[in-house]
Amino acid sequence: MNSALKAGPAAIAPRSERFHKWRSRKDKLARGLIALGGFVVIAAVLLILFYLLYVVVPLFLSASMERSELGVRPQWQGERTAFLALEEQQQVALRVNFNAEAEFFKLDGLQIIESVSLAEKGQKVAVVAGNPGNGGLVAVAFENGKVRLFRHSYKTDFSLGVVLRQIVPSLDYPYGNDLYDLMPDGGITGLAVADSETALVIAAAADGGRVGLSWNEKEESFLSGEVTLQTTLRSMTADFSITAIAVSENHRWLYLGDDTGRVHFIAIDGMREMQAVQVSAVGISRMSMLLGGISVLAGDAGGQITQLFPVRDADNQYRLEIIRRFDAQQSAITEIVPEQRRKGFIALDASGNLAIYHSTAGRVVLQQQLSNGQPTAMALAPRASGLLLLNQNGGADFMRINNEHPEVSFASLWSKVWYENYSQPEYIWQSSASSNEFEPKFSLTPLAFGTLKASLYAMLFALPLALMGAAFTAYFMSPGLRRMVKPTIEVMAALPTVILGFLAGLWFAPYLEENLAGILALVLVIPAGLLVFAWFWTNAEGRFKALVPEGWEPLLLLPVLIVLVMISMQLAGPLQDLFFQGDLRTWLSREAGISYDQRNALVVGCAMGFAVIPTIFSIAEDAIYSVPKSLSDGSLALGATPWQTLVRVILPTASPGMFSAVMIGLGRAVGETMIVLMATGNTPIMDWNLFEGMRTLAANIAVEMPEAAMHSSHYRILFLAALVLFLFTFVVNTGAELIRQRLREKYSSL
C-alpha cells in the first residue's frame, strides 16, 4: 500500500535546488548559443559585404602620376626632337631628331646605346609619324618630300641572369631601304601611316592643300614568306589649309583637319571627299587615330578634343559622326598620344597641361600641370604605366602612371554608350575579345534587366499556383490528402536546380519549340475546361457527390487535366491553320515581328517557377494552416461561406507569412544561376519579348568569373555585379520585413 501511495501524483518529490540551478544554466547556455549563432550570421553577411567592397572600391579610385627626374643631357639642349618612343620595360627609349638621327638611350642616366643615321648627311627631317598600333613602325618624312619607313624593336638578353637582364634595341627596314616619293616638291607638314596584314598606307599633307598617298598592297611569297609591296600613288589638292592628317587602320578613310575647325572625311579609293564635319569654331591643331584605327581624335586650338568615327546611315552609306566631346583643356592641343592596349589617350596643350582620357568612359581621368613647362616630346609606355618627357633644357622626366581602371564610370556601367561600329548608343555587355583593339563593353544595365525579366516570368508562373495551392491545401483539403500532398511538394525543393536546367534546356525547350501553339492553347483550354467541369460538379446529384469524400475532390481533377492537355495539343493544328497561316512561329516572325529563340524567357519562367513553387507553397501553406481555427469557426457561425471566410478572414490573417513566402521565392529567383545558365541563350539583350533569351547577373558571374584575369577591370566589375545582387536582395528583404511587420500589426487583432 505504501508503494501504491508513493506512486501517486501527491507522492512526487519536489525538485532539488541543484536541479533548478542546472536547468537555469542550460537555459542560459542555450540562449547564449542562439545569440552567438545570430551574431555569427550577421558577421558572415557583413564580411561578405566588406569583401565585395574591398574588391569593387578600386574601380572608382582616381588615377595618379608620380614624377621623377632622369637627369640632363647637354647635347639635347636646344635640339628639337621629332619623335620619341618608349619600350615596354621602360628602360630604353628611342629618339629621332630633325637631323635624321635615331638614338637609342637608357632612361637610367640618359646614356646613348646606339645611334643610327636615317638619311644622307645634311638631309633634314620635316615630320615623323608612328603607327598607332604596337608594331613599332615609324615613318620619317624629309624636307625633300620623300618618306622612309623603319621599325624599332627590343629583345631581352638574359645571358647575365634575370637580375642583370638587358634590353637590346634594334632598328630595321621591314619594307626595304627605298624611299617613298610622296611630295616631289617637298613642303610636307603632316604625315600618317597605317599598317596591317594586307596593306600599308602612307599619307602626307603639304602646304597649298596638297595631299599625297602611297597605297601598298602586300603579297607574301608562299615558299619564302617574303613580303613584297605593290605600290600605287594617289594625290589630291584640297581647297583649304590642312592643319592635321590621319588614316584609318582599315585603309578606307583619310581624315584632314583645317584651320576653320572642320574635319574632312575622304574616301581613299578615288581620293574623293565624302563629308566635312564642323567640329569646332577654331582650327584643328592635332589629330590622331584611337587604338583600332576606327575613331579619330581631333584636338582644336581652344583645347577641346572630339571623337568621331564613320557610321552607316539608313541608306547603308557611311557618314562621319561626332560621338563625344571631352572636357576642354586650357589652350591649343599640341599632342595626342593613344594608348596601345586600351581605348585611352593622353593629350598635351600649349600651356603644359597634361590630361589622361578614356573614350568609352567619356571622361577625363586625370589632369596635371607639368612643373617643367611645355616638353619638346613625350612617349607613352605600351602598357600606359609610364610617360617619358623630354624638356627644353635637355633634361628628361619620367611620370609613373597609376591608372588601372579608366574605362569604369557611371555612364559606361549604367548609361547608353556609343561604341565603335555601332549606329547609335546602346546598352551592351561584351567583356572580351581576341585582340587589344576590341572596345570592352561593360554595361550592367542589360544584366540587371535580364535578372528582373527572368524573375518576373518565374514569379508570374509560380505565384498563382503556389499561393492558390497553399490556400486550398491548408483550408479545403482533407487532412489525409494534405499529409500526402504537402510533403510531396516540399520534397520538390530538394531537386537540384542543375537537373531542372538540364531538363529545361535539352528537353523542354525543343519540345516547346515544336508544340508552341499547343502549349499556348493550354492557357485558354485549361481554365475554360475546369470551369465547365466545376459547373457540372456543382449541379451533379448528391448521391454522385457522396462517392467522393469531402476534401478529396482534387483527385477528380487529375484525369480532367490530362484530357484538357490532350485537347489543347489536338487543337494546335486547326488553330494554327485558322489564325496563323499554318505555323505560329513563322507568323510571329513575319507578321508580328516577334523573334523566337529556342531557349527563351518562357522556358526559363516555367523551369525557374517550378523550382520556386515548393518554397513559396510550403511557407504560405504553413502560414494559412496556422491561423487559429476559432477565427474560421466564428466567421462560419456568423453566416459567411467558406470562400468568404478564406478571403476575408484567413488570408488577411496569414498575409504576413504569405508575403514572406513571396519575398523568399523572389530572392530565390533573383539569385538563381544554373537554370538560367542552361535554359536560356545567355544573350545580354534588353527586350521584354517572351520568346527571347536574356542574361542575368548571377549567370554572367558564373560564366565569366573563371576566365577573368585577377584584379582586372573585368574581374572587379563581376564583383560589382555581385554587390548589386547583394544590395538588391538586402533592400528587397528589408522592405519586405517592414511590410510584413505592418501587416502583422494590422491583422494581429483578428
Q: State how far the Cα of 708 lies from the Cα of 2, in Å rounded to an integer.
A: 83
Per-residue pLDDT at 595: 85
User: What does each C-alpha distance from 398 to 294, 387, 499 come to in angstroms?
Assistant: 30, 6, 58
Per-residue pLDDT at 738: 84
Q: State how far the Cα of 173 lies from the Cα of 149, in Å rounded to an integer.
A: 6
Q: What is the mean pLDDT of the chain?
A: 89
Is the pLDDT reported for residue 5 higher than 50? no
Is the pLDDT reported for residue 6 higher than 60? no
Is the pLDDT reported for residue 436 higher than 80? no
Name residue 142's beta-bridge partners.
Answer: 125
Q: State how far the Cα of 509 lies from the Cα of 602, in Å rounded to an integer.
A: 9
Give mean pLDDT, residues 337-343: 92
Per-residue pLDDT at 632: 87
Give mean pLDDT, residues 16-34: 86
Count of CB atoms within 10 A of residue 534's CB?
A: 13
Closest among 550, 546, 545 to 479, alpha carbons compared: 550
User: What does each C-alpha distance from 161 to 154, 168, 380 come to in angstroms?
Assistant: 17, 14, 28
Rg of the chain's alpha carbons, rounded to an integer?
37
Give mean pLDDT, residues 246-273: 93
Q: Name the DSSP class of 304.
A: -
Residues 541-560: pLDDT tens digits?
A: 777 777 778 878 888 888 99
Q: Which helix (H) or strand (E) holds 286?
A: strand 284-289
Give mean pLDDT, residues 398-403: 94
Q: Domain 284-418 is in which class?
A: mainly beta
Residues 63-122: pLDDT tens digits?
A: 999 999 999 998 898 888 999 999 999 999 999 999 999 999 999 889 999 999 998 887
Amino acid at 524: L
Per-residue pLDDT at 467: 93
Per-residue pLDDT at 12: 55
Give mean pLDDT, residues 485-497: 88
User: Do residues 296 and 309 lie in contact, with contact meaning Cβ atoms separated by under 8 Å?
Assistant: yes
What residue has cell string 572625311? 265
Per-residue pLDDT at 314: 84
Strands of the sheet containing 363-369, edge to edge, are 333-338, 344-349, 353-358, 363-369
Closest among 204, 212, 252 to 234, alpha carbons compared: 212
Domain ranges for the chain, please list them: 79-237, 284-418, 445-747
What residue has cell string 489543347? 568
With vertex at residue 202, the alpha carbon angle to CA 200 and CA 208, rounded to the nearest 5 degrees, is 160
Residues 512-549: pLDDT tens digits?
A: 888 888 888 888 899 999 899 888 888 877 777 777 78
Q: State how far the Cα of 416 lies from the Cα of 333, in Å rounded to an integer.
A: 28
Give mean pLDDT, residues 312-333: 91
Closest among 234, 204, 228, 230 to 217, alpha carbons compared: 230
Closest among 239, 240, 121, 142 to 188, alpha carbons compared: 142
Give mean pLDDT, residues 607-616: 92
Closest among 422, 447, 424, 441 to 360, alpha carbons compared: 441
Give mean pLDDT, residues 27-40: 91
Is the pLDDT reported for residue 1 higher than 70? no
Residues 272-315: pLDDT tens digits?
A: 999 999 999 999 999 999 998 999 999 999 999 999 999 998 88
pTM of the complete model: 0.87
Higher pLDDT, 3 or 354: 354
Per-residue pLDDT at 682: 84
Is the pLDDT reported for residue 10 higher than 80? no
Q: What are the helix (H) ranges across 388-538?
A: 410-414, 445-475, 479-492, 497-503, 509-514, 516-538
Closest among 404, 333, 395, 323 to 366, alpha carbons compared: 404
User: What superfamily does domain 445-747 belong to in CATH?
Assistant: MetI-like (1.10.3720.10)
Per-residue pLDDT at 4: 45
Q: State how far the Cα of 316 lies from the Cα of 389, in Å rounded to an integer.
A: 45
Closest among 318, 313, 303 to 255, alpha carbons compared: 318
User: Do residues 68 and 94 lie in contact, with contact meaning Cβ atoms separated by under 8 Å?
Assistant: no
Closest among 564, 249, 575 to 420, alpha carbons compared: 249
Q: State how far the Cα of 67 lies from the Cα of 499, in Å rounded to an integer.
A: 58
With vertex at residue 99, the alpha carbon angle to CA 98 and CA 103, rounded to the nearest 5 degrees, is 90
Per-residue pLDDT at 3: 45
Name residue 216's beta-bridge partners.
Answer: 200, 231
Residues 705-734: pLDDT tens digits?
A: 988 889 999 999 999 999 999 998 888 888
